[in-house]
Each structure stands twice: as C-alpha cells, then as structure tokens.
Structure 1
C-alpha cells in the first residue's frame, strides 16, 4: 500500500519518537510511505525544540502566530497536492495538530481514505497552559478535523471520549495506544550489568525517564529517600532533564542526600534502554489525564516493577497488583507508600515486573501492531 503521511511537527521529542516509529513500522511491513512535513529536525539533538518556530511562538502576539499556523495549511495543502499528483497514494495518514485543516481538504479533493492520529486535545491543552487568542477559530479547527476524518485514532479511551464530545460517531473512533519497538529494547543489559555500568552496584534503584516537571512529584521521592538511614541502598536515578531539575538537585543537597540522587541529563533514544535496565522500580508518578506516556511502554518492555497513579488512562493498560502498583493520586502519601511497599517486597517486585513484560505481547503494545491496525482500517475502507 502507498501511504501519504502528513504531520506538522518539528520538535525532536516524544512526538518525534511516535512519528519515526510509526513510519518505520509501516515500511517494515512492506508499505511505501511518502512524508509531507516541515523541514526535518534530523540534525537536531534529541530533546531539541522547534527552533525558529518556538522562537516565533514566544515572541509574536498570540493572535498573529495562530493566524500564521492556519495560513501554513495553505502551504501544507499545496505540498500534499503535489505529493498526490506525483505519487498517487492509496490513503492519507495524518498526525493531528491545531489550525491544520489541510489534510481534510486533501481527503475531500482527492477522495483519499484518511486516518487521523490524535495524541492530545490540543485546543483544550493550549487554552489551559499556553493561552489561545482565537479560541472560537481554534475550537472550530479541532472539531472540523475530528469530524471529517474517516477514522480518528486517539491514544487512550479517555481521549476518545473527548473526541466523541465533538460529535464524532463512536464507530469512527479507534483507540490505538502508544507502543514499543521491541528490537530497540531486545539487547538491553540485565539489571546487575546495567547498574555496574552506572556505578550503582548493590543499590535499590528508583528510576524515572522523561522531561522533569514540577507536577511529576519527584520531590516526594527525594523526601522519602531523605528519611532513610545513611546505610540505605535506595537511590533515585532520573534519566532526562527539565525545568525543575535544578530545584530537585538543590533539594537533595539541602537534605544531604545528593550522593543518592543521579540526574543523567538528556539521553539519546538508543541509550535509554541501558539506563532503564538498571531500575528496580520504575516511576510514573504523575501523568496527564488523557495521555499514553511513552515511558510506560519502555518500563513494561523491560519488565520493571511500575508505580503509577490509579487514573483511567493508565488503567487501560495497568492493573493494580498485577503489572503495577497503583496509588490514589489525590492522596498526599499515595506515591511514597506505593514505593515503600515495593521496596520492602522483592518477591512482589519480581512478580509485577514479570507481568509487566508479558503485557506487551498480551495487549499487542508494539509499533508493528499499531501499524498493522492502521493498515487494517485502510483496507476495510477500500473494500467497503
């Protein structure tokens, strides 16, 4: 099958991972993928922002930047139309973004079957965190895209419910969570070797990967470790960076446990597995209510004992006492109590980790599986 893949993402972050893995999975299954997108971020280091675009967003008036986003759809439509005439694709796969109706215009003009992957309700997200000036236009653009795609592919059922609230029929909403590239994690070292490589021999490693934000709750983990006696083996390993790293490092210094907390900074994608392999307990201390966090699938694939909040989007994948220990996110002591429970029970850690690893195959949580589901939807539309 010949697939036209359209996105408007330049940041080299979790979005980039999803895009690259999905394209790679489609190609490995023998499909031709034609990409229409802004200039590539290939030359940027992993974790880099969108460069000039990010600068414009920070410095231009919001209303002007939002009109520029919408105007980009004209550019995108011309590029998409050119790709259709040149390659004659069978279908269109688009990663949803706000103020981006170009894919819908193309679908209607050329009668292409279209899947729209949705990773977040971007209107609600930006209205809450960044602020939007042209709110009515923004909300219209989101609903227009969601209602006019053949199928909408949200990453969680929670997000699917938001999509449905815009008037999208349930039968056109197909939940496809994020996944894992099994090849990328197949050669990860065993836990003891991974710890030795990091100088963490004989440590009970509490690990976190990703962009560190204040609402992640890692300050509570540092407080927990600070209550331990000096000879305790508990160690916090944070694989990533973020705006609160300096504050957390200062917190550790203030409590005289800086030697028991390690921040790696940004780590390349190919190196993540060898760090996560060193975890005894993998932390997902907080998560956006509708998200499908990439780190969760990495934790599962490497068979880690996961601690996470008992909220609906995570509970689509995790079951308390089976493949994770879940805590009440509204309880101030929930996270430290869940961590302490696992720290004190090696057998439980092993059981949870074993079940975590089995979850990937049981729920088909791989990029290859996701690509196959997308192709299945395209084929159904062609034969309808």
Structure 2
C-alpha cells in the first residue's frame, strides 16, 4: 500500500472537482491511502457552483492584492503540507497544478519526496488572456518554476504537453494522461427511447449537450439550424446544464418560435448526468479550448453516443472522423450545422459511431482507474530508485 498526499487549491465544485474526487476514489479502490491537503471548506458547495468567497474577492479586490493573497496562501498550505507529511509519512506528493501554488515544490524539497504534477491547463496564458496580471513577471516565473521543478508532469493532452515542454520541462519526465471516466456510472443507463420518456421526448431525434453553457460553445448555431426545419421535424435540442448563455439561447428560440424544440434542464447533480446523456441520439461537443481533455466528450464515449465535435488536434487524440465521431471544421462558418444535418440523415452512420464510441474507452484506457494505475507505476518507480 502506498500513501499519496494529494495537494490542490481548488474550491469550486465543477469539472475540476470531478477530476479530483474521481482520482482520489481510484487510488483508494486500488488499495492505497490518500491524504488530502486543500483549502478549508473546499468541495462543500453544490455541483456547478463556484466558491462564493473566491468570487467575491476576485470581483471587488484590486488585482495586485488578490495576486499577493494567492502568493501568501503558500505559507498556509506549506504549513499544512508539512504537518501532513510528518504525521503520515507519504510516499509522494500528487498535486493538481495551480498558478502561484509554490508550496508543493517547497515541501518536496524540504522532505525529499517526489512530486507528480497534473497539468490541465496553462493557467498563466488563460489568465493573461481573460483577466490580465498585475504581477505579470512573477506569474510567468511561477509557472516555469513549478513545471520545471516537478519530478514528473502529467498534461491531459499532447497539445498541453507541447506547451509544458516549451517552458523547458524534461520530455523524459512528461507523460500524457487524458481525463477519464468511471465506467460503473454508465453500465446501467437506460436505452435511448425509454430514457426519453422521462421528458416526453420519446418521438424525437435528440441532439444533446452537457456542461456549463457559454457563448463560445456555439449552441446558437444549432438553434438557428433547427429553425430551418419543417414544422413537423423530429429534431430536438436538449441542453443539460446551466450558464450565462442560457437566457440568450432561450430568447433566441422564442424569437424563432421554436421554443418547443429546445429544452434546458438547468443545473443538475453530477450523479444524474448519465441518465440525461442516455436520452441523446447525437451528442454535441460544439467547441473546446485547444489543449483541453473534455470530460463531457469521454462521458459521451462511455455512453456509446454518436458524437459531433470540432476537428482539432486535442480532439483528434481521442476521436477519428467517421469512426467514433463525425468531425467538423471549426474555422469554417456553417460547418457544424452541416455536419449535424449529415448525421441526422444517416441512421446507419449514427449506429456505427455509437458502436465504436464505447470501445474507444477500452482501446485508449480512458478510465480513472487506468490513470491511477499509471500514476502508481510512476510512484513505485521513484521508490525503487530512491
């Protein structure tokens, strides 16, 4: 049995929390002990809800003060890490990367423990693009320092790995591990037609989307496409989730007089998602950032759905056009609706994609348990060479 100290600074209950919870559960299912060091009160909010304290600080506090507070948190987290290490004597530190979070590297060096770093996004570049920095040079130095100091870096896609390597990380200490799925959650989902009965969609061809609804997802294009259908069309858009764009999409559907062809579930609990995905005939991944490993995409595969997704490098790591998905050109206007229309007209293609989707999970080992086994192998390798 290994003892793994899991360190993170995530307080929101969203896709990040899913990753954290599932990896901890996978380590434990393999018989290992996990000690968690995280912000006080993390993971206590409802699913899909940001930590209100953090949101308040970001909104009302001057940016440079907020960034200084992020740096100051290192003294709090280092103290907690040191306490946990002394008490539990772990075999390694497993950390979810966050910008300005230096305490894991400090603890690794002070207590001579290997640190394995999971990297889901280039946070410096993200925040530079959307928020900007007051402590620009310090922020970039932190990202470089953390990525180069980790004993092993686990980016979630090859695209993300290429970004990590541009910062000077050692290729021999970098291994891509995509996000995963807990297959047990998708073993007993209802058949499509019986699942649709719950929402009165049993006679519809359901186009489905799950997740936090943002403008860049492009669901407005799907609604515009449905508006061009014949009045007796069977196509129906089911949006599972909530977000800032929902109100605009509802208004669009109403203005086009097709509000009866579009449904929004609002926020639902994590354990209900497989039930809703079961209703989909065609699952939509309309847009995704260039380096991400989308959880929803892996859920669609696990549920055996015909998928429409953008043809871009990170998606291509999991999907092959006309094999387990139908891919569209994200740079060509109209490509997504055209691709959806093509799939809707070809039931045999839908069935082929559905058949190949589920097998992708096993072929590419896209489960949290498989990920945990790979990481355990790394830890055991460190122990052998200690």
Tell me which interval the TM-score lies in, with the shorter structure as reference length: over 0.9
1:43 match: 44
**2:155 is the counterpart of 1:154:** yes
2:61 match: 60
Quote the offset at 1:50 in angstroms.
1.2
Secondary structure at the counterpart of residue 124 of structure 2 = helix
The CA distance in 2 between the partners of 1:53 and 1:352, in whole Å, is 42
1:374 match: 375
The CA distance in 1 between the partners of 2:65 and 2:293, in whole Å, is 32
Quote the offset at 1:42 in angstroms.
4.1
Quote the offset at 1:188 in angstroms.
1.1
Secondary structure at the counterpart of residue 116 of structure 2 = strand
1:75-114 correspondence runs (5 A): 75-114=76-115
Quote the offset at 1:382 in angstroms.
1.3
1:312 match: 313
Secondary structure at the counterpart of residue 49 of structure 1 = coil
**2:14 is the counterpart of 1:13:** yes
1:238 match: 239
The CA distance in 2 between the partners of 1:11 and 1:330, in whole Å, is 32
**2:301 is the counterpart of 1:300:** yes
Structure 2 residue runs without a partner (length 5+): none
1:277-288 correspondence runs (5 A): 277-288=278-289
1:208-223 correspondence runs (5 A): 208-223=209-224
2:263 match: 262
Describe the superposition over 1:117-162 as per-residue Cα deviations: whole angstroms up to 9, x where unpaired: 0000000000001221111000001111100000000000000000
1:174 match: 175
Describe the superposition over 1:36-88 as per-residue Cα deviations: whole angstroms up to 9, x where unpaired: 00123443211110111111011111111001001101110000000000001
The CA distance in 1 between the partners of 2:333 and 2:325, in whole Å, is 19
Describe the superposition over 1:329-358 as per-residue Cα deviations: whole angstroms up to 9, x where unpaired: 001011001101110001100100110110
Describe the superposition over 1:162-208 as per-residue Cα deviations: whole angstroms up to 9, x where unpaired: 00000001111110000001111212111111101111011000000
2:164 match: 163
Could you tell me whether the CA contact under 8 Å between 2:12 and 2:43 is conserved in 1? no
Could you tell me whether the CA contact under 8 Å between 2:120 and 2:292 is conserved in 1? yes
The CA distance in 2 between the partners of 1:195 and 1:241, in whole Å, is 20
Secondary structure at the counterpart of residue 352 of structure 1 = helix
1:360 match: 361
Divergent runs of 4+, >6 A? none
Secondary structure at the counterpart of residue 53 of structure 1 = helix
The CA distance in 1 between the partners of 2:175 and 2:54, in whole Å, is 31
The CA distance in 1 between the partners of 2:337 and 2:197, in whole Å, is 26
The CA distance in 2 between the partners of 1:333 and 1:224, in whole Å, is 9
The CA distance in 2 between the partners of 1:328 and 1:320, in whole Å, is 11
2:73 match: 72
Describe the superposition over 1:257-307 as per-residue Cα deviations: whole angstroms up to 9, x where unpaired: 000000000111110001000000000010000001100010000000000
Quote the offset at 1:95 in angstroms.
0.3
Structure 1 length-normalised TM: 0.99
Give the count of matched residue pairs.
384
1:119 match: 120
The CA distance in 1 between the partners of 2:134 and 2:60, in whole Å, is 14
Structure 1 residue runs without a partner (length 5+): none
**2:275 is the counterpart of 1:253:** no
Could you tell me whether the CA contact under 8 Å between 2:325 and 2:357 is conserved in 1? yes
Secondary structure at the counterpart of residue 153 of structure 2 = strand
The CA distance in 2 between the partners of 1:20 and 1:42, in whole Å, is 9
The CA distance in 1 between the partners of 2:353 and 2:161, in whole Å, is 28
Secondary structure at the counterpart of residue 192 of structure 1 = helix
Describe the superposition over 1:213-243 as per-residue Cα deviations: whole angstroms up to 9, x where unpaired: 1111101100110000110000000000111
**2:172 is the counterpart of 1:205:** no
Structure 2 length-normalised TM: 0.99
1:28 match: 29
Describe the superposition over 1:295-322 as per-residue Cα deviations: whole angstroms up to 9, x where unpaired: 0010000000000000000000000010
